[in-house]
Amino acid sequence: MAGSSARPVWMEKPSALGTGGKVAVLAVISVLVLYPFVSVLATSLSTEADISRHGGLVLIPDHPTLAAYRTIFAGGVVTDALLRSILITAVGTFCSVAATVGMAYGLSRRNVVGGRFFLLVALFTMLFSPGVIPNFLVVKQLGLLDTYASLVLPTLVSAFNLVVLRSFFMTLPSELYEAARIDGAGDFRVLARIVLPLSKGVLAVVTLFYAVGYWNAFFNAMLYVNDDKWPLSMVLRQFVLQGQSLSDTVTGSEAAAPAQAIQMAVVIVSLVPILLVYPFLQRYFTKGVLTGAIKG
């Protein structure tokens, strides 16, 4: 018993009451988390009558309908925007990761000419944003208005991601670099064969950050490109902002989907792709970011 009593209380076998309490608390938290999702999904499947009857907060639609989804996907505007978003996210993420890796690697090496200056220039952008109009003028003067490049180039390198990657690269043992050098490897080979294979975790995180950023970005699209080049986020934003007006524009004999159902359907459509990707990458999140930040 002496040994047993010396153990801290949290190492004891939990009582039935304690276990029951934990289950209850976790169940309540789960309900709090799931409730909005269920309500959003249910509202997206509801008719005008259902929404009115439940005062706008539907949990189980009485007459489920896909009318809101049909409205959203009618005419191919959303599907076209979806393809554009996938393309912008894929190309943008690839370019951003490539640029960030290159810059982080260069800045992680000692005695690089101007390295400190360029690092400060990058860090400066974390503290002071250039503002909407200066950004617009730069994009305009580069001739990038109404091009897909304007959605990628202004946000190509994130200073935060740069710092995370640079910090991680600096933690790699210098012996590895020296050994590679002795074997005659140049910087590109060192980066490709030594550094990147050791950085999969942090690269996954940075990739996810960029991908989510490109997927959700709408502001640059609103400023720089016309509506025929809008990504999904901007199109969906239109649905959310103009849900009521959208219903009003449907002037055919068929009853339109209710505005709230359309807005909730939009939330579901924008959530699904991220929900599909997250479970596979989430485990890298904590590990990758903490590795870069703490060891840096």
Footprint on this chain of another protein (rule: CB under 8 A): 48-49, 51-53, 55-56, 72, 74-78, 81, 132-133, 136-137, 140, 222-223, 226-228, 230, 235, 237-239, 241-242, 244-256, 258-260
Nearer to another protein, 14 or 56 (CB): 56
Nearer to another protein, 74 or 126 (CB): 74
Distance from C-alpha of 89 to C-alpha of 95, rounded to nearest angstrom = 10
Output the smallest distance, CB 9 to another protein, in A.
46
Output the smallest distance, CB 267 to another protein, in A.
15
Nearer to another protein, 103 or 246 (CB): 246
Instruction: Give the orientation angle of helix 77-108 with respect to helix 159-171, to 10 degrees.
Output: 40
Output the smallest distance, CB 237 to another protein, in A.
7
Nearer to another protein, 178 or 228 (CB): 228
- Secondary structure (3-state) at 149: helix
Mind giving me the DSSP string for 235-269? HHHHHHHTHHHHHHH--SSSPPPPHHHHHHHHHHH
Output the smallest distance, CB 216 to another protein, in A.
16
Token pair of 84 as six digits: 């554009």
Token pair of 201 as six digits: 């975790």
Nearer to another protein, 119 or 225 (CB): 225
Output the smallest distance, CB 227 to another protein, in A.
4
Gap between the terminal Cα atoms of the chain: 46
DSSP state, residue 109: S
